[in-house]
Amino acid sequence: MSVLIKGGTVVNAEQSLRADVICDGGLITAVGTDLDAPSGATVIDAGGQYVMPGGIDPHTHMQLPFMGTVASEDFESGTSAGLAGGTTMIIDFVIPGPQQNLMEAYKQWREWAEKSVSDYSFHVAITWWDDSVHDDMGTLVRDHGVNSFKHFMAYKGAIMADDEILVNSFARSLELGAIPTVHAENGELVFRLQKELFEKGITGPEGHPLSRPPECEGEAANRAIRIAEVLKVPVYIVHNSCRQSLEAITRARNEGQRVFGEVLAGHLLVDDSIYRHKDFDVAAAHVMSPPFRSSEHQDALWKGLQSGNLQTTATDHCCFCADQKAAGKDDFRLIPNGTGGVENRMEVLWHHGVNTGKLTMNEFVKVTSTNAAQIFNIYPRKGSVAVGADADIVVWDPEATKTISTKTDHQKVDYNIFEGMEITGCPSHTISQGNVVYANGKLDVERGAGRYIDRPPFAPFYDALQKQAQLAEPVAVKR
Ligand code: DUC
Ligand code: ZN
Ligand code: ZN
């Protein structure tokens, strides 16, 4: 299938220009003025619209088995919802259970993801440690296109990585040319605070944010960053929700450390008063970790995005319906953690970022697509409207308006955390692998059309880091 996108303004991270775009054989084959349509091409009139790289959501959890249940959104429905919102690739997570063989978990997730309708890739979580984990990390990087490993510093007694695991895995990541990523919350403190609150009779969702204060996140972010500093490995902190973790990142970046930070659309826009909602279902629908925070933190996060200290936006899309959230009716600790948003990330970012003047259009492209492609080493195949890149494109209508609602979205969850939000600017068309998969409100997707995207290791840059680590070898004093 070939497609000509005619008369639009191409917006990339580095520049905007009036140009037509031709997609053929799954790739972008021409970007230029007054291009003629190849015979049989579908022509999209992009007059008055922006032609941008499809979004990359670097943090989703489709059909994740978690807290005694399984996330309601699967890889087919979740990637479909993503395409409806202009997101053409997700990076999801393989999360082995404690002691579960890494390769076995990886194969399981690959099988689950085969039904994806858009491209996808996987970070792999390190939830325990022994020689087999060390060796499997090597196999994953060398033979399976994995270049990032995730560490949960929270979820004690389940998937939490303690300092010993962090140190082993960060050091191994450097050896392999992979980047460690962390969910930064001090799991010991969260565990203790949860228990104290529950014993004081705080059993409802209001206990959730109280048990996970910003200080717990700031401490963990700083610890992960300092471990990475000592081991000389870059590090990526997922879903920063508060000023404290942003400050840890900013401080380290100012010192020249290679630290990256992600922020969720939800953390920018939803505030923590929701946890005190009278209706349990509404409050519980917002339970995710780290929790939504006050406006002080939201303001800081926007500034982090504007200053470039936070580089990527994501959703942590991990959906649970009301009947699943009800598991924690009498004990907030049992409410499955997770919220959606893969369909809405780009439009809420555009509305609250570009329309308010907080972000330029080029910065919007950076934080929704290009930076993730660069950090996770798939640029310029992804994250760019350029000849030779994958034809993953969103045609953006800046005048279109809509009211976000679970009644009209495509996400497989019964509550939308942006419910009722009126936005201006959303996709008119989404093109995935050169096919028009979403046009004027209608999806046209094929189960299984999504491809697993290999992400190569970070050589030769890491070779230099390793050499630096060797140069710093101490010399014993001869006595
Ligand atoms: N946080 C969530 O809210 N859900 C899934 C995992 C996570 O870290
Ligand atoms: Zn997390
Ligand atoms: Zn997550």
* Phi-psi region at 86: left, alpha or beta (left = phi > 0; alpha = psi -120 to 50): left
Using CB atoms within 10 A of its CB, is residue 226 exposed (0-12), middle (13-18) or buried (19+)?
middle
Q: Which CATH number fits domain 53-383+453-459: 3.40.605.10, 3.20.20.140, 1.10.150.120, 3.40.50.261?
A: 3.20.20.140
Give residue 469's pLDDT.
74
Q: Is the CB of 288 under 6 A from ligand 1?
A: yes
50 C-alpha to center of ligand 2: Å?
Answer: 32
Domain ranges of the chain: 53-383+453-459
* Mean pLDDT for all residues in the chain: 97
pLDDT tens per residue across span 217-260: 999 999 999 999 999 999 999 999 999 999 999 999 999 999 99
Distance CA 75, CA 117 (A): 8
What is the per-residue pLDDT for 144?
98
Residues 24/56, Cβ–Cβ less than 8 Å:
no
Q: Identify whether the C-beta of residue 187 lies closer than 8 Å to the C-beta of residue 156.
A: yes
CA of 171 from ligand 3 middle (Å) equals: 22
Taking the C-alpha atoms of residue 276 and residue 313, their distance in angstroms, rounded to an integer, is: 26
Measuring CA to CA, how many Å separate 298 from each of 190, 236, 344? 22, 20, 18
pTM across the whole model: 0.97
So what's the pLDDT on residue 237? 99
Residue 324 is predicted with a pLDDT of 98
Q: Please spell the DSSP secondary structure of 142-187, one letter per residue.
A: HHH---EEEEES--TTTTB--HHHHHHHHHHHHHHT-EEEEE---H
Q: How many CB atoms lie within 10 A of CB 111?
A: 10
Q: Which residues of the chain have pLDDT under 50?
A: none
Which residues neighbour 292 within 8 Å (Cβ) at sequence distance 6 or greater? 209, 241, 266, 267, 270, 271, 272, 274, 275, 286
Q: Whose CA is nearest to atom 7 of ligand 1?
A: 289
Instruction: Please say whether the beta carbons of 284 and 206 come within 8 A.
Output: no
Rounded distance between C-alpha atoms, residue 170 and residue 120, angstroms? 24
Tell me the per-residue pLDDT of 30-70, one tens digit each, with 9 for 90 and over: 999 999 999 999 999 999 999 999 999 999 999 999 999 99
Task: Give the span between the Cα atoms of 299 and 315, in whole angstroms.
Answer: 18
Q: Indicate whether residue 181 lines ligand 1 (CB < 6 A).
A: no
- Please give the distance, rounded to the nearest whole angstrom, from the Cα atom of residue 61 to the centre of ligand 1: 8
Distance separating alpha carbons of residues 214 and 244, to the nearest angstrom: 6
Ligand 1 and 317: CB distance under 6 A: no
Confidence (pLDDT) at 261: 98
**Looking at the DSSP assignment, which residues form a beta bridge with residue 423?**
402
Nearest residue to 370 via CA among 54, 27, 20: 54
CA distance 335 to 367: 31
